[in-house]
A and B are shown apart, each in its own frame.
Chain A
Amino acid sequence: QVQLMQSGAEVKKPGASVKVSCKTSGYSYTSNFIHWVRQAPGQGLEWMGRFNPNTGDAVYSQRFQGRVTMTGDTPVSTGYMELSSLKSDDTAVYYCARQFVGGLDYWGQGALITVSS
């Protein structure tokens, strides 16, 4: 069955970077885009960008342009999202999700990233 397993929770200091992984299984990794979506405590869903595992290309939300990098490692069927220059309002649960047609059909369990001094 399709699964997306994310790395665990992390605590980071302001100004640091964080890299979250998303290991996929149960389907052909290069066949579907991987999206990254975050959710701050008590807030809604916010799209960060998407990564194409087939070409290595990424499209980012303008809000995160210059601070986010999405990559992948095909041999291990894993996508990554790195966010730099962390601020306290980057504290959120970060999800990866697989694109199916026009929607996101399978989601990772989420990774809580806390930014605190």
Chain B
Amino acid sequence: QSVLTQPPSVSGSPGQSVTISCTGTTSDVGGYNYVSWYQQHPGKGPKVIIYDVSHRPSGVPDRFSGSKSGNTASLTVSGLQGEDEADYYCSSYRDNNILVFGGGTKLTVL
């Protein structure tokens, strides 16, 4: 059982927007602005797409955005494209220099 809670799956049609939630506690998501999101395609390694709640690394399309409210962080993918179909994981720093991950969400583009 993962420390951070994500929905197992979300789906959307091309061009639509989807939002993936990531719920933790005041000891992790709610207590630190160190939430990251990772995209993982089948058979590939994870790739960071959001760090520090809402920052995008260079090269990541601005269709990906992150936010946080209280103990819940969110990743929004706008203008869905077929290449966005992948697994998405959130992570957060936790008390005592621990890093925790969510269980992952499978995004399906219909």
Interface 9-residue window, one of A9-17, A24-32, A69-77, A99-107? A99-107
Tell me whether A44 and B102 are in contact in the complex, defined as CB-CB below 8 angstroms, given that A59-B97, A104-B36 are known contacts. Answer: yes
Is B98's CB under 8 angstroms from A102's CB? no
Tell me whether A107 and B45 are in contact in the complex, defined as CB-CB below 8 angstroms, given that A47-B99, A47-B101 are known contacts. Answer: yes
8 Å CB interface, B78-97 against A = 87, 89, 91, 93, 96-97
Total A-B pairs, Cβ < 8 A: 66
Per the bound structure, the CA–CA distance linking A45 and B98 in Å amounts to 14
State the interface size on chain B (CB cutoff 8 A). Answer: 30
- Is A53 an interface position by the 8 A CB rule? no
Per the bound structure, the CA–CA distance linking A107 and B45 in Å amounts to 7
Seen from chain B, the residues whose Cβ lies within 8 Å of a Cβ on chain A are: 2, 32-36, 38, 40, 45-48, 50-52, 55, 57, 87, 89, 91, 93, 96-104
Q: What are 12 pairs between A and B in contact, CB < 8 Å?
A: A35-B99, A44-B2, A45-B40, A45-B101, A46-B101, A47-B99, A102-B33, A102-B52, A103-B48, A104-B38, A105-B51, A107-B46
